[in-house]
Amino acid sequence: MSHIRIENLSKMYLGRRSKPRSLHDPAEQSGDNVLVLDDVNIVIEEGEMVCILGPSGCGKSTLLRIVAGFEFPSSGAVFVGNQPVRGPSAQSIFVFQHSGLFPWMTVAQNVGLGLRHVKAEEAKQRIQDHIEMVELDGFEDYYPHQLSGGMQRRVELARALALNPELLIMDEPFSGLDFLTHMKMREEVVNMHEFIRKTMVMVTHDIDDALIMGDRIVVFSGRPATVKLVHKLDFPRPRDFERNPELSRLRSEIFLMLGVPYAV
């Protein structure tokens, strides 16, 4: 059964800048509405991990925010589990690009944020389980500012998963991490997905991330964003560009598509 259906979705913003953003596009004049997403159609299956790629500023994040219910489409509709999205829901948890952890709460309190209505005993157990899952046991009483960037991201993941949501929405979850932490986190998220099999939608600007992690990738064009390519990735994990010439070829193709003709 399909989990998310995005149907003919368009999003416009009221243009506020006094000068047009691009000189090449005379239609984008001051006071005009700026079209960010143009007739986007995507179907995401239950348990699938979909990675969305596209040039920066193209509206990928806007799409995620609409799916999460933080923003509303100008036309078209988004259905999650056959229900139209009407606002934020505890069933679709958004993992923020920059830390969305509450800095005044400890790790344990943050992870327990979604478990306020669960009985104390059970909540305690679930908090502990999820802290252990992201390998942060011992850090329960630390405040976010006492943790490294990578640890903060893992707490945020634990907080999202503790609620056991049907859908996980991630907006560039690895941005700002150092190279090794990035690699480790990527591996952890892939393993976690294999393990819990929840639907995940992830925006990234890292083509390698998308190709290594995704069950499917969606490539957007620049503004206004339209779906340029949808590609199913039937490669066994762990994936390796050297052992998979097909994957390598796809990588070059996407680089080209996003305007980098010669990828190193």
Contacting positions for another protein (CB under 8 A): 68-70, 87-90, 92-94, 96, 98, 100, 102-105, 113-114, 116, 143-146, 148-149, 163, 175-179, 181-182
Tell the smallest beta-carbon distance from residue 146 to another protein (Å). Answer: 7
Please, where are the H alpha helices in the chain? Answer: 60-68, 107-111, 120-133, 149-162, 179-196, 207-213, 245-257
Query: Judged by CB, which is closer to another protein: 96, or 235?
Result: 96
Burial class (CB in 10 A: 0-12, 13-18, 19+), 221: middle
Tell the smallest beta-carbon distance from residue 264 to another protein (Å). Answer: 13
Query: Judged by CB, which is closer to another protein: 142, or 235?
Result: 142
With contact defined as beta carbons under 8 Å apart, do 124 and 159 qualify?
Answer: no
Query: Judged by CB, which is closer to another protein: 23, or 120?
Result: 120
Tell the smallest beta-carbon distance from residue 160 to another protein (Å). Answer: 9
Query: Judged by CB, which is closer to another protein: 147, or 233?
Result: 147
Q: Which residues are 8's β-sheet partners?
A: none
Determine the Cα–Cα distance for residues 129 and 193; give it in Å rounded to an integer.
Answer: 16
Tell the smallest beta-carbon distance from residue 97 to another protein (Å). Answer: 9
Tokens, residue 121: 């005993």
